[in-house]
Amino acid sequence: MSENREQSDVQHIGRERQLSAPAPWYRRRWVLWTSLLLLLVLAVIVFAVIHRNEAKAAAAKRALAAVKPTVTTTVATATKGSIGVYLDAIGTVTPVYTASIMAQASGVLNSVHYNEGQFVKKGDALIDIDPRPYQAQLMQAEGALEHDSNVLAQARMDLDRYRTAWARNGIQKQLLDDQEKIVLQDQGTVKNDQGTVNYDQVQLSYCHITAPIAGQVGLRLVDPGNVVQADGTTVLVVITQMQPTTVIFTMAEDSLGQVQARMRKLHTLPVEAWDRAQTTKIASGKLFTINNQIDTTTGTVKLRALFDNKKGALFPNQFVNTRLLVNTLDGVTLVPTASVQHNGTVAFLYLIANGVASVRNITTGVADGGMTAVQGINPGEVVATSSFDKLQAGSKIVVSKQAAPANPAESNTP
């Protein structure tokens, strides 16, 4: 029995070794190739699915692109008309006259007759300075004049007597000659006295200050009781003429010939004054004069425009934008400036015909008052003025009855 058991154990051990031994090489290679084949088939399937999805997406995109959207837009019709050519510049309102009044007589300021901001006429009373010292000086001068005038009169009486006596040979010729010279001396004294009187009268007049021009008075700079000095540096009052007024602006010297030619032909050119934002016209005037020299540091020349300023819209030293009309173009095609679009340096319009949009390249010219002169379209053609972010060539159009937006969309590439 023990021998049979040993044989049985030996057989059992042999079977276990046989089972734990590695598989043959041909069996391992078959498993490897099978795995690679499965991976290849899976990759082909995945690639086919992705390619089919991309093809469907591209086809859907092409189909969507082929369908032109319907766009609602406002439109305008190109017209034939005239447009002005303007030179724009920045100007400063400069009054025709500005008077800074200083004291010409010394003394105590008695009264101020004006109110701040008051409009005064030429000759209106402004300020009074204590006149008593100057009145006393004038009285002294007038007394000296009166005395010397009587001395002169007495000398002339004596001269008449001497002439009568000389005619009768009653006196010597020397006495007559001396009296004639005395009369001349007294005449000189009287003339000197008269000059003193006139001077003192002028000095007295300086105590009563009146408006030298018509205009608006500024803020009060002195008060009653202040002591002022003649020929001082203290300004007592400033008067600025408001109507009419002028605007001084500059222009490039290259435009000088064009402006001078129009001035010789028309004698004057219209000038407009606009606010800082160039949205509101303040006043209309005319070119008054051109300066007589060019500023060599800037290559510009100054011009002065005259405005009646009846409404007082222009204020001294105010900055304004000026527009000088130098020419008028007649018979040009005009479209709203809002309809003109740009693609780089190329300008174009969206034309609307039979309810469909198309793109037309144009050449732009002068722009003014929301209109632009263009070449490349004909009067009567209809152009789009809004919805440029949606418009494209071939778009179906629905015309809106609403007005075009104030700030239309920026240019769109066709």
pLDDT of residue 7: 55
Q: Please, are residues 40 and 343 in contact by the beta-carbon 8 Å criterion?
A: no
Q: Residue 109 in 3-state DSSP?
A: strand
pLDDT of residue 407: 43
Structure tokens at 24: 């043959």
Block mean pLDDT (10 aa), the chain, length 414: 52 53 55 72 76 70 58 88 90 95 94 93 95 95 96 94 89 90 95 96 95 94 92 90 95 91 88 91 94 93 95 93 91 91 89 88 87 90 87 84 49 43
pLDDT of residue 144: 95
pLDDT of residue 59: 64
Per-residue pLDDT reduced to its tens digit, 312-344: 999 999 999 999 999 888 899 999 998 899 888
Name residue, tokens 């803020």. 219
- Quote the CA–CA distance of 216 and 117 in Å, as a whole number: 6
pLDDT of residue 71: 81
Give the CA count within 13 Å in the CB-facing half-sphere of 90. Answer: 5
pLDDT of residue 388: 84
pLDDT of residue 308: 94
Which are the contacts of 201, defined by CB distance < 8 A and separation ≥ 6?
138
